[in-house]
């Protein structure tokens, strides 16, 4: 029996949908980066679950070696390592606003805005409509910004050459704007603040992502930015997604 058929047969024997299996695996692993699309790829295309395989075996009550053997014998063959990199930009400002908005406009499952202020998104005239349409269609929206009261913010302003108080003011303005949007979008949009200066800014829409590392002594728009597209389970895309999930679980809801 092929790898995908084994997963599907066992899942159906348990009376589970693909969503049910993904949910069960996330409960076991304590992570929140799986969707039914992952399960669909494993079943229909024989994609190797990589580091998810032990969790998948546990969820299905299968011997991991049996599942691993089926994956090796019947899984999809790849011509070398899958390439998740779409493009590397020397500076974030080289990416057009249409490109930025395109990532969230096309999302159907999850939209993530994570960083210090995400000020440009907060006050982009198109964003409220995009997020409203996304949540109305069932998409989950998460906005995760730096706590504007963090004492270390003064050091960030100094490193970027900003007047004192610049970053905290921008974060407060962005939080206020995102909260207004969230009130119109309903419970599918959440806004939280985290308490440690992030090392990256991430904009995600489903399986697409812009990742901007914060480079010391460079302002955000001058920092290099990597565009990623998810191509494999457990790859770079999933690593960044897992990082944000971990920060999200320790962040506090804005206004609480």
Domains of the chain: 3-74 (1.10.260.40), 85-253 (3.30.870.10)
Residue 233 confidence (pLDDT) above 50? yes
Q: Residue 13's pLDDT is what?
A: 92
Length in residues, the chain:
256
Residues of the chain with pLDDT > 90: what percent?
53
The pLDDT score that the predictor gives to residue 50 is 74
* Gap between the Cα atoms of 142 and 150, Å rounded: 21
Residue 73 or residue 243, greater confidence: 243
Question: 25-39, 153-167, 237-251: which range is least confident on average?
Answer: 25-39
Tens-digit pLDDT profile for residues 165-186: 999 999 999 999 999 999 999 9
SS3 for the chain, per residue? CCHHHHHHHHHHHCCCCHHHHHHHHHHHHCCCCCCHHHHHHHHHHCCCCHHHHHHHHHHHCCCHHHHHHHHHHHCCCCCCCCCCEEEEECCHHHCCHHHHHHHHHCCCCEEEEECCCCHHHHCCCCHHHHHHHHHHCCCEEEEEEECCCCCCHHHHHHHHCCCCCHHHHHHHHHHHHHHHHHHHHCCCEEEEEECCCCCEEEEEECCEEEEEECCCCCCHHHCCEEEEECCCCCCHHHHHHHHHHHHHHHCEECCC
158 vs 227, higher pLDDT: 227
Give the phi and the psi of residue 31 in degrees, each rounded to 5: -125, 160
> Mean pLDDT for the chain?
87
What's the whole-model pTM score?
0.70
Residue 184, token pair as written in the block: 């119109």
Scanning the structure block, which residue is given the tokens 């032990």? Answer: 54
From edge to edge, which strands make up the β-sheet containing 252-253? 85-89, 225-229, 208-213, 200-205, 110-114, 140-146, 189-194, 252-253
| Burial (Cβ within 10 Å: 0-12, 13-18, ≥19) of residue 135 | buried
pLDDT at 140: 95
User: Tens of pLDDT along 104-134?
Assistant: 999 999 999 999 999 999 999 999 999 999 9
Q: 185 and 132 in contact (C-beta within 8 Å)?
A: yes
pLDDT single digits (tens) 29-46 = 876 677 888 888 888 877
The model's pLDDT over 196-210, given as tens digits with 9 standing for 90+, comes to: 888 899 999 999 999
What's the pLDDT at 227? 94
From CA 243, how far away is CA 85, in angstroms rounded? 18
């Amino acid at each position: 029996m092929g790898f995908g058929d084994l997963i599907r047969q066992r899942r159906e024997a348990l009376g589970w949908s693909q969503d049910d299996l993904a949910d069960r695996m996330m409960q076991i692993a304590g992570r929140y980066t799986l969707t039914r699309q992952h399960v669909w790829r494993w079943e229909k295309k024989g994609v190797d679950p990589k580091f998810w395989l032990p969790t998948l075996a546990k969820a299905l009550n299968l011997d991991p070696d049996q599942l691993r053997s089926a994956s090796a014998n019947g899984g999809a063959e790849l011509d070398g390592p899958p390439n998740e990199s779409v493009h590397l930009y020397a500076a974030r400002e080289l990416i057009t606003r249409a490109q930025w908005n395109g990532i969230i406009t096309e999302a159907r499952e999850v939209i993530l805005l994570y960083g210090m202020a995400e000020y440009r998104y907060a006050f982009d005239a198109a964003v409220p409509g995009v997020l409203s349409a996304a949540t109305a269609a069932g998409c989950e929206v998460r906005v995760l910004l730096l706590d504007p009261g963090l004492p270390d913010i003064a050091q960030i302003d100094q490193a970027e050459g900003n007047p004192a108080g610049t970053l905290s003011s921008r974060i407060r303005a962005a939080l206020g704007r995102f909260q207004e949007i969230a009130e119109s979008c309903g419970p599918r949009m959440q806004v939280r603040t985290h308490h440690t200066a992030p090392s990256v800014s991430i904009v995600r829409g489903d399986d697409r992502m812009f990742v901007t590392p914060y480079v010391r002594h460079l302002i955000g728009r001058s920092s290099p930015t990597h565009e990623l597209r998810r191509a494999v389970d457990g790859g770079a895309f999933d690593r960044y997604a897992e990082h944000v999930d971990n920060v999200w679980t320790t962040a506090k809801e804005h206004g609480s």
